[in-house]
């Protein structure tokens, strides 16, 4: 068997992690021939619950789980890891403004960014904990790990968009491709139907109903998280976990020809986005493991309005945490 892949999961006692961890351990993500070592990070009050998660992992007797460890110190949890899934953060309390949440969670990512210096040289870091784009920005600015090894999750938004388009068009979800989600994982994100395709044809041609695309699809994707909370009483967990694992895998293999993935990565100024912002772009992963932003996509003036709005939101988030960068 190969050497184990070492994967850190933060917020390991939380609900998203509960859906992530067992799939990582079972071989469902990296394959049944690839051993995995899991390294968990939690805060002290959640350690008891994490103990129970670890008991359950033992009870699954997964042949691919080569070992596991738990810590409340990021330096220990990130030591030698190849993949770091930063899921844990403080949830938004009732009546809490977004700016307040950013201020509460920012310092967590300062410490975790520094601790990531202990990771393996090939580490890839995915930030899921919200506000994930800005938390990712904070972590990378406080780390010696190169910026291109950090990304934040837009994949749930991409998957939601694909699902809704497939249902509307009456096609399998595999027929829906080229979905970009621009900007921030927030309700100002812009899920781009103008560049998306269904069975190789433009979505606007296949669905044709521009009013539905603009006035139903876009707000429904933007507000899907809130709709799940309303129906379930707690936030998306299994779908978020699934998207996080899709994201991790997509950065480990070349993107199929003609396709792209939605991920928030560090801007180098593409599409007029301020260099350095962690912005949701269409991304292609190359055979050598590096990635690039897909350039040259066109946006209608209407779409550019959405784009500019979410860009402004991310600039404001950055300005709230300048002292942490």
Residue ranges that bind ligand NAX, judged by CB under 6 A: 10-11, 13-17, 41-43, 46, 87-91, 108, 128-130, 132, 153, 156, 185, 225, 235-237, 240
The closest residue (CB) to ligand NAX is: 14
Say what angle helices 301-320 and 132-141 make with each other, to 10 degrees: 50
Cβ of residue 87: shortest distance to ligand NAX, in angstroms?
Answer: 5
Minimum CB distance to ligand NAX smaller for 35 or for 74: 74
Residue 15 · residue 237 · CB < 8 Å: yes
Q: Choose between 81 and 198: whose C-beta lies nearer to ligand NAX.
A: 81
To ligand NAX, the closest distance from the beta carbon of 313 in angstroms equals 15
Q: Cβ of residue 201: shortest distance to ligand NAX, in angstroms?
A: 28
Choosing from 185, 224, 306, 318, which is the catalytic residue? 185
Nearer to ligand NAX, 82 or 239 (CB): 239
Min separation Cβ 300 and ligand NAX, Å: 26
CB of 39 to ligand NAX, least distance (A): 12
Closest to ligand NAX by CB, 153 vs 273, is 153
Closest to ligand NAX by CB, 10 vs 161, is 10
Annotated active-site residue 185? The verdict is: yes
**Would you please indicate which residues are annotated as catalytic (active-site) residues?**
185
């Amino acid at each position: 068997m190969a050497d184990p892949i070492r994967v850190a999961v933060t917020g390991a006692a939380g609900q998203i992690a509960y859906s992530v961890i067992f799939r990582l351990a079972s071989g469902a993500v990296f394959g049944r021939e690839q051993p995995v070592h899991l390294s968990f990070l939690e805060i002290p009050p959640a350690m008891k619950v994490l103990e129970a998660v670890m008991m359950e992992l033992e009870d699954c007797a997964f042949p691919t789980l080569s070992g596991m460890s738990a810590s409340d110190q990021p330096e220990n949890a990130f030591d030698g890891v190849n993949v770091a899934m930063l899921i844990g953060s403080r949830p938004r309390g009732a009546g809490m403004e977004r700016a307040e949440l950013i201020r509460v969670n920012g310092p967590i990512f300062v410490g975790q960014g520094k601790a990531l210096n202990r990771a393996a040289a090939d580490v890839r870091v995915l930030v899921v904990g919200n506000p994930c784009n800005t938390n990712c920005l904070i972590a990378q600015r406080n780390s010696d790990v190169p910026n291109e090894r950090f990304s934040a999750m837009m994949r749930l938004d991409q998957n939601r968009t694909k699902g809704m388009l497939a249902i509307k068009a009456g096609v399998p979800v595999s027929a829906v491709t080229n979905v970009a989600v621009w900007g921030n994982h927030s309700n100002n994100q812009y899920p781009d139907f103008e560049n998306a395709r269904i069975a190789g044809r433009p979505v606007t041609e296949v669905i044709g109903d521009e009013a539905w695309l603009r006035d139903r699809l876009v707000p429904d994707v933007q507000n899907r998280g809130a709709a799940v909370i309303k129906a379930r009483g707690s936030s998306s967990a299994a779908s978020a976990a699934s998207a996080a694992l899709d994201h991790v895998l997509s950065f480990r293999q070349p993107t199929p020809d003609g396709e792209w993935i939605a991920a928030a990565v560090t801007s180098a100024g593409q599409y007029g986005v301020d260099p350095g912002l962690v912005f949701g772009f269409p991304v292609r992963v190359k055979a050598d493991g590096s990635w690039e932003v897909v350039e040259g996509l066109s946006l209608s003036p209407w779409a550019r309005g959405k784009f500019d709005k979410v860009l402004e939101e991310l600039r404001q988030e950055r300005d709230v945490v300048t002292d942490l960068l």
